Amino acid sequence: MTATKKDPVLVVLQMSGAFDALNTIIPYSDPLYKDYRPHLKVEPEEVLAIDDKVGFHPAMAPIKDMYDEGKVAVIQGIGYPNPIRSHFRSMDIWHTAEPTKMATEGWLGRAIQDLDPNKENVLTAVNFGRGLPRALAAPGVSVASVGNLETYGVLTGIDGEDQRAEALDIFSRMYSPMVGNGPINDYLSQTGLDALKGADILRTAPEIYSSSIEYGGDMFSQWVKNVAQVHTAGFGTRVLYTGLNPGAFDTHANQPTSFAKLWGEVSRAVNDLYQDLKEHDANQEVVMVLFTEFGRRVQENGSGTDHGSGSVAFVLGDAVKGGLYGEYPSLEPDKLDEGDLKWNNDFRQTYATILDKWLDLDDKAILQGEFEQFDFIKK
Amino acid sequence: MADQNHDIALMAHLMRRAGFGAQYAELEERAAKGYDATVEELLNPEVNPHGMDLDVAERCFIEWSHQTRGVPEYFAFRMINSRCQLEEKMVLFWHGILCTADSKTQSYPTSYDEIEMFRELGMGSFRDLLVGISRDPAMIFFLDNCLSHKGAINENYGRELLELFSMGVGMDGEFNYTEDDVKECARAFTGWTIANNVPGQPYGRYHAQFVYNPEDHDEGTKTFLGETGNFNGEDVIDIIAKQPATARFISRHLYSYFISDEAQVPSWMETPPKDPETIKMLEDEYFRSGYNIKAMLRVLFHSDAFKNARFQRVKSPVETVMGTLRLVGDWTEPKPGFEFIFDEMKHMGQELFNPPSVEGWHTGQEWIDGGTLVHRINFTADFVGDVNQPGVREIIDRLADAGPVISPEQMVDTTCLLMGHYELADETRQMMAASLEKGGTIHTDTEEFGTRVSELLQMIVATKEYIYA
């Protein structure tokens, strides 16, 4: 037992576009697999076998390495009731944890309310990407949303260091609650000053960061590097969120090339992040969750795959009890759901596990319901 | 001079609310014609058919009927360039109330038809508009009315028609209808369905069409809001249209959109209107005019409540972006690169054709969070900070007309006027003037002057005051 236990941190990696679960964790010894995938199949000898049934796509070696160290929980057959094959709506469901009706609050937004009820830290949650995912939205929750950590801030378009410093000085004074009398003056003041303060603090992260890890040059890898920079800077950030650009994994055509390239980049970034955190002795307090909005059609379309339902997700980190969770959905034609893998565990079971066992929050209140938990978090 | 300034300030207010803002020259031109004449012009878009020459736009947005980007792009282009500003503003109004989302319908051609329907019916009889939305293929698919059958109703549309499109759950603490009314309403709309699938997957994107299938219509007797008969959908709409709750619901929506942010819709049953007198005036006009939206708008724009409501509303992201583009004079002609503009609105919290739920966008304070505020400020500042934009150039030139030297206070005040009679808090105004003062005497006939103006413009759009319309 260490004297000071660090607060648990959650990193969320959103794989937009719906990656092909069947070619991610591959049921390589099932003869049906080859039948469904005459062009897209990965040969058994190339699969990075987990056991004699399933294994990782060969481009995922960096994640497989972590798996072999017992740090990766593979959640097979993950999904939600009444699958919808729309990217947007499906992502919305994952964000709001509400599959039956349109909701506006995010599951992490509510978690952030509980992590920082008195709004003491403007950086309790940080998003890297363009636009705030709904997962992080909740009333009264300020989340810093960073497109580019090097240039993040208010009034970034003002040229010249002196002019910008002057502008920010005026900004901080004119956003004082004492100035102005508009209908939501206090709220605007608070939000504006939080954003300014957040930007001020965040700006220091790249300056104090140094590492031997060289991340890939793609946007996602850069955002993952930003995650490391902000976490290791010690700002007290508890939720870090980033992901691929919308549609990245949407491989309707030409799947073999783009799919392998994307998983190559993503897997390397995930492993780089882990190694980077380790180098900074900042790995033990971090759990990552990597998800996509749905799986893809079991039967290939010749060069790619269309929208499906049942999928696979990953939870990674030192606190994770590695292994296979959920069941691999059957490939038998009569066991498919309209030609898709049938889900067998609700994504909110994974959320509940993370909220309760990792972040020590009230999963039932946040998810507005009780979901059976997994035991992929070490006690 | 004082009167003239007042006229222009009021015109700037009218154009921000009844449209997407206007440059100073247009404000002068409209103020010269007069407030009443401008209101009438806005209320009668047929005076300027389509509000613009559609030929260029349609040729450039040739893909608008089948590509994912073309339809929002085309809509935005009309918001920016239409002379009939109110017509487009009303389309946006209905788009946010009678909501469908492309995330489900996935058919921009069908969404486009909906927008055209709002253009056609958006300022007419509310009763006719309810018929229009009930026959709208995007809506029929979005709220599953195509899955509602005789003997096996799907209540989704029947419920939202009452709850979110016409009456609201309740008024003055009382419920407006019962669960039985919802079911009976849904029964009346059985057989109202569509031909051509709506979602693009897997057949491609086509215009879906309304179809009435008498075989699938429930011909039984229904009791709806206390009336009994063999009602079809239009009969139900006739009953809805004459309810006091409907008058209240539409009046509050108009008030919130044009005058001052109301509470969010779900709380309307318990939360009384902010300004009961004005709401009453609008309700009365609703019945007097036979449910006519245009007549209600006329009363609204001539009300003291409207004229006195300057800067009492938080601009929506679409208003912010369209207003900025109109102010700087960008996008007056079609050009590539609109995706960025579309994404910016999305990042500010309002993705056209994808309201977050059937309830539409929450408004007012809920537009603002840390991320959306920074996006809003930076987007606007980047555009007004570009001295090559014609509208920015125009402001620089007009400021220079004051003479070879301008005082810091005069520069701040005149710039606010030229942007549409914005009013800064005294402290803010003094901070800006003091900052200009530090830069030394302001010579208007130098190259550097443009830069100083653009920096000031960037500071003004970053103020809290500029968040409001």
Our separate counts of H helices and E strands in chain A read 11, 12
Beta bridge partners, B149, equal B152
CB pairs under 8 A between A and B: 148
Where are the domains positioned within chain A? Answer: 9-148+213-367, 153-202
User: How far is CA B463 from each of CA B17, B20, B206, B394, rounded to the nearest angstrom?
Assistant: 19, 19, 45, 22
Please determine, for residue A1, whether its predicted confidence score (pLDDT) is greater than 50. Answer: no
Chain A residue with the nearest C-alpha to that of B344: A131
Q: What is the CA radius of gyration of chain B?
A: 24
CA of A364 vs chain B CAs: smallest distance (Å): 23
Q: Is B73 part of any domain?
A: no
What is the rounded distance in angstroms from the CA atom of residue B277 to the CA atom of residue B109?
42
B365 neighbourhood in chain A, CB within 8 Å: 184, 187
A98 neighbourhood in chain B, CB within 8 Å: none
The reply to whether B102 and B14 lie within a common domain is no
Q: To which residue do tokens 């003004």 refer? A: B460
Backbone angles phi, psi at A148, to 5 degrees: -145, 110
Residue A2: pLDDT band with limits 50, 70, 90: very low
The reply to whether B32 and B104 lie within a common domain is no
Of B365, B372, B381, the CB nearest to A157: B381
Q: Which of B167, B164, B162, B210 is nearest to B185 (CA)?
A: B162
- Residue ranges with strand state E in chain A: 9-14, 25-26, 48-49, 55-56, 72-79, 125-128, 144-146, 239-243, 286-291, 311-317, 323-325, 345-346
Cβ–Cβ below 8 Å for B370 and A170: no
Chain A residue with the nearest C-alpha to that of B313: A183
Cis peptide before B202 (omega within 30 of 0): yes
Chain A residue with the nearest C-alpha to that of B454: A158
Total structural domains within chain B: 3
Residue B359 amino acid letter: E
| The token pair that represents A249 in the structure block | 């994994």
Q: Which of A220, A214, A266, A246 is nearest to A57 (CA)?
A: A266
Largest CA distance in chain A: 71
| The token pair that represents B224 in the structure block | 């709806």
Q: Which of A251, A184, A248, A200 is nearest to A220 (CA)?
A: A248
Backbone angles phi, psi at B149, to 5 degrees: -125, 160
Q: Is B355 part of any domain?
A: no
Residue-wise pLDDT for B47-93, tens only, equals 888 888 888 777 776 555 445 567 888 899 999 999 999 999 999 99
In sequence order, the 6+-apart residues with CB closer than 8 A to the CB of B44 are: none
A199 neighbourhood in chain B, CB within 8 Å: 374
Q: Quick one: angle between helices B317-328 and B370-384, nearest 10?
A: 10
Query: In this structure, are residues B323 and B20 in contact, taking their beta carbons and an 8 Å threshold?
Result: yes
DSSP codes of every residue in B301-368: HHSHHHHT-TT-SBPPHHHHHHHHHHHHT--SS--S-HHHHHHHHHHTT--TT--SSTT----GGGG-
CA of A329 vs chain B CAs: smallest distance (Å): 24
Q: Does A163 touch chain B (CB under 8 A)?
A: yes
Question: Best residue in A95, A122, A188, A309 to probe B by mutation, most B CBs within 10 Å?
Answer: A188
Residue A371 amino acid letter: F
Q: To which residue do tokens 């209540």 refer? A: B155
Strands A48-49 and A286-291: unpaired
Cβ–Cβ below 8 Å for B458 and A181: no
Backbone angles phi, psi at B11, to 5 degrees: -65, -40
pLDDT value, residue B340: 83
User: Which run of H or E residues covers position B210?
Assistant: strand B209-212
Q: Which of A279, A268, A186, A292 is nearest to A220 (CA)?
A: A268
Q: To which residue do tokens 């959306």 refer? A: B372
Please determine, for residue A92, whether its predicted confidence score (pLDDT) is greater than 60. Answer: yes
User: What is the mean predicted confidence (pLDDT) over A343-370?
Assistant: 98
In sequence order, the 6+-apart residues with CB closer than 8 A to the CB of B36 are: B302
User: What is the mean predicted confidence (pLDDT) over A260-267?
Assistant: 97
Residue B212's region, left for phi above 0, alpha for psi from -120 to 50, else beta, is beta
Q: Which of B377, B389, B456 is nearest to A155 (CA)?
A: B377
Give exposure, B98-119, as e/b (b: 16+ Cβ within 10 Å): bbbbbbbbbbbbbbbbbbebbb
Instruction: Decide which of B402 and A209 is more confident.
Output: A209
Q: To which residue do tokens 């900070």 refer? A: B385
CA of B456 vs chain A CAs: smallest distance (Å): 9
DSSP codes of every residue in A128-156: ESSS--GGG--TT---EEES-TTT-STTT
ipTM of the complex: 0.92
The reply to whether B144 and B227 lie within a common domain is yes
A302 neighbourhood in chain B, CB within 8 Å: none
B468 neighbourhood in chain A, CB within 8 Å: 182-183
User: Which run of H or E residues covers position B193?
Assistant: strand B192-195
Q: Which of residues 3-62 of A touch B (CB under 8 A)?
A: none
Of B314, B372, B464, the CB nearest to A180: B464
A84 neighbourhood in chain B, CB within 8 Å: 104
B260 neighbourhood in chain A, CB within 8 Å: 183
Q: To which residue do tokens 């010269």 refer? A: B32
Residue B295 amino acid letter: A
Q: Which of residues 60-99 of A touch B (CB under 8 A)?
A: 84-89, 92
Say how far residue B226 (Cα) sits from the centre of its chain: 35
Of B343, B358, B377, the CB nearest to A154: B377
Query: In this structure, are residues A296 and A255 in contact, taking their beta carbons and an 8 Å threshold?
Result: no
| The token pair that represents A301 in the structure block | 């379309």
CATH number for the domain running over A9-148+213-367: 3.40.720
Of B311, B427, B432, the CB nearest to A182: B311
A183 neighbourhood in chain B, CB within 8 Å: 260-261, 312-314, 364, 468
Of A89, A137, A170, the CB nearest to B431: A170
Q: Which of residues 197-236 of B touch A (CB under 8 A)?
A: 199, 201-202
B367 neighbourhood in chain A, CB within 8 Å: none
| The token pair that represents A83 in the structure block | 């699958």
Q: To which residue do tokens 């029964």 refer? A: B187
pLDDT value, residue A179: 95
Q: Quick one: angle between helices A185-202 and A161-174, nearest 10?
A: 140
Question: Best residue in A124, A174, A293, A307 to probe B by mutation, most B CBs within 10 Å?
Answer: A174
Query: In this structure, are residues B244 and B283 in contact, taking their beta carbons and an 8 Å threshold?
Result: yes
Residue-wise pLDDT for A124-164, tens only, equals 999 998 778 889 988 888 888 888 888 788 998 888 888 88
User: Which run of H or E residues covers position B175?
Assistant: strand B174-175
Q: Which of residues 203-242 of A touch B (CB under 8 A)?
A: none
Cβ–Cβ below 8 Å for A173 and B431: yes
Q: Quick one: angle between helices B276-288 and B244-258, nearest 10?
A: 120
Cβ–Cβ below 8 Å for B462 and A173: no
Cis peptide before A8 (omega within 30 of 0): no
pLDDT value, residue B266: 83
| The token pair that represents B216 in the structure block | 């699938």
Beta bridge partners, B222, equal B229
Please determine, for residue A367, whether its predicted confidence score (pLDDT) is greater than 70. Answer: yes
Q: Does A127 touch chain B (CB under 8 A)?
A: yes
Chain B residue with the nearest C-alpha to that of A92: B356
A181 neighbourhood in chain B, CB within 8 Å: 425
Query: In this structure, are residues B103 and A86 in contact, taking their beta carbons and an 8 Å threshold?
Result: yes
User: How far is CA B187 from each of CA A232, B160, B219, B241, B384, rounded to the nearest angstrom?
Assistant: 60, 14, 9, 18, 54
Number of residues that make up chain A: 379
Q: Which of B29, B50, B46 is nearest to B38 (CA)?
A: B29
Q: Is B47 part of any domain?
A: no
pLDDT value, residue A78: 98
A329-333 long-range contacts, Cβ below 8 Å, gap at least 24?
A329/A76, A329/A77, A331/A27, A331/A30, A331/A32, A331/A33, A331/A36, A331/A298, A332/A32
The reply to whether B132 and B268 lie within a common domain is yes
Beta bridge partners, B440, equal none
Of A85, A103, A183, the CB nearest to B312: A183
Backbone angles phi, psi at A48, to 5 degrees: -85, 90
Cβ–Cβ below 8 Å for B201 and A92: no
Q: Which of B416, B462, B406 is nearest to A167 (CA)?
A: B462
| The token pair that represents B10 in the structure block | 């009021």
Give the count of alpha carbons within 13 A of A77, CB side only. 17
| Domain span including residue B445 | 390-467
What is the rounded distance in angstroms from the CA atom of residue B375 to the CA atom of residue B381?
10
CA of B203 vs chain A CAs: smallest distance (Å): 12
**Mean pLDDT across chain A:** 93
Query: In this structure, are residues A7 and A240 in contact, taking their beta carbons and an 8 Å threshold?
Result: no
Cβ–Cβ below 8 Å for B455 and A158: yes
B354 neighbourhood in chain A, CB within 8 Å: 88
pLDDT value, residue B30: 96
Q: Is B290 part of any domain?
A: yes
Q: Which of B351, B343, B292, B284 is nearest to B316 (CA)?
A: B351
User: Which run of H or E residues covers position B263?
Assistant: none
Percent of chain A with pLDDT over 70: 99
| The token pair that represents B277 in the structure block | 């007198």
Name the pTM for this structure: 0.83
Mean pLDDT by 10 residues, chain B (469 residues): 80 98 97 97 91 80 58 90 97 97 83 95 98 97 92 92 96 94 97 80 74 97 98 98 98 98 90 97 98 98 98 97 98 83 88 87 89 91 96 98 96 98 97 95 95 96 97
C-alpha angle with apex B71: B321 to B348, nearest 5 degrees? 30
Q: Does A103 touch chain B (CB under 8 A)?
A: yes
Chain B residue with the nearest C-alpha to that of A134: B356
B368 neighbourhood in chain A, CB within 8 Å: 184, 187-188, 191
| The token pair that represents B265 in the structure block | 């819709």
